Each structure stands twice: as C-alpha cells, then as structure tokens.
C-alpha cells in the first residue's frame, strides 16, 4: 500500500480491564507503524475529547460491558463524537468480547452505528477474547481500510 507523503494525525483510543483490548490497540498501533505512521495511543480516560476534530483518523478499541453495552469509561468519547462536527474524521472501531454472551462485542456495534452517522467510518473489527497471532492480518486489514479512506480524503 503506497502512503501519501504528508504527516497523518492518527489517534488510537482504548479502554481495557483485563488487558485484552489494550493488546488489540497495541497491535493496531504496530500495524500503523509498519506503514511508517506513528499514531498517538491514548487510554480513554486520558484522551482530550476537545481535540477530536484535529485528527485525520481515530481508531477506537473497546471491550463490551454487561449485556452488550459501551463501558462507562468510553461514554465521554462516545458523547464527544455525538456532539462534535466530526464528519471529516475517518474512524474505525475495534473491540474484544466473548461470544458466549448474546451480544458479542455489543459496544463495537453501538459505536459502529453512531460513528457511521457522525464520522466517516472506514472499518470495524471484533476479536474473540484476547488477540491471537491469527488476528494480526485482520488488524492489518482494519488499518489498511482506515489509511485508504484517509488517502482518498487528501
């Protein structure tokens, strides 16, 4: 995949309890780095929501809480997208979950539906429990989809 020759402003915002989603976010960051891009990695509680509009792309990584719900630590991010003019921001939503539950990765679905309306959604990714080596190619496709949309926009 050819890269454009300008600096991309990309953020990865994640929340994790068990560490599974943190590993997923780190895998996504690793793939971006393979394309020569150094995204900023933020834990959700440390992400300054007022700068949402400053990024070319934002990848969200979350786990699912309870019966398919967005975890409370991600509510400020979710609400910031709902309340901001971010249609120009390319987004991707990834998450970890347990398919034992009836709403597997329900937080990914909730973010997907909102981001589709509020941003330019490029990709979604659901990972069963902890990311495995077999998930790395899926992370690559996730990142490539985001980069393709960013390039089309520039």
**Rounded to whole angstroms, what are the CA distances from 28 to 69, 93, 100, 102, 131?**
23, 11, 25, 26, 11
Nearest-10 Cα torsion for 65, 126, 14, 26: 140
pLDDT at 153 over 60: yes
Top CATH class of 10-153 equals alpha beta
pLDDT at 115 over 50: yes
pLDDT at 38 over 80: yes
Task: Please state, as a whole number, how many other Cβ atoms lie within 10 Å of the Cβ of residue 14.
Answer: 28
Domain boundaries, the chain: 10-153
At 97-110, the pLDDT tens digits run: 999 989 999 999 99
């Amino acid at each position: 995949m050819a890269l454009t020759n300008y600096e991309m402003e990309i953020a990865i915002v994640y929340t994790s309890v068990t560490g599974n989603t943190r590993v997923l976010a780190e895998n996504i960051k690793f793939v971006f780095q393979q394309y020569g891009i150094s995204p900023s990695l933020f834990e959700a509680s440390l992400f300054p929501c007022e700068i949402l509009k400053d990024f070319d792309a934002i990848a969200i990584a979350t786990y699912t809480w309870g019966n398919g719900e967005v975890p409370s630590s991600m509510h400020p991010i979710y609400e910031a997208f709902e309340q901001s003019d971010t249609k120009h921001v390319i987004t991707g939503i990834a998450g970890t979950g347990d398919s034992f539950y009836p709403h597997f990765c329900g937080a990914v679905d909730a973010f997907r539906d909102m981001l589709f309306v509020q941003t330019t959604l490029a990709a979604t990714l659901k990972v069963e429990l902890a990311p495995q080596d077999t998930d790395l190619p899926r992370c690559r496709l996730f990142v490539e989809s985001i980069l393709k949309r960013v390039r089309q926009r520039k």
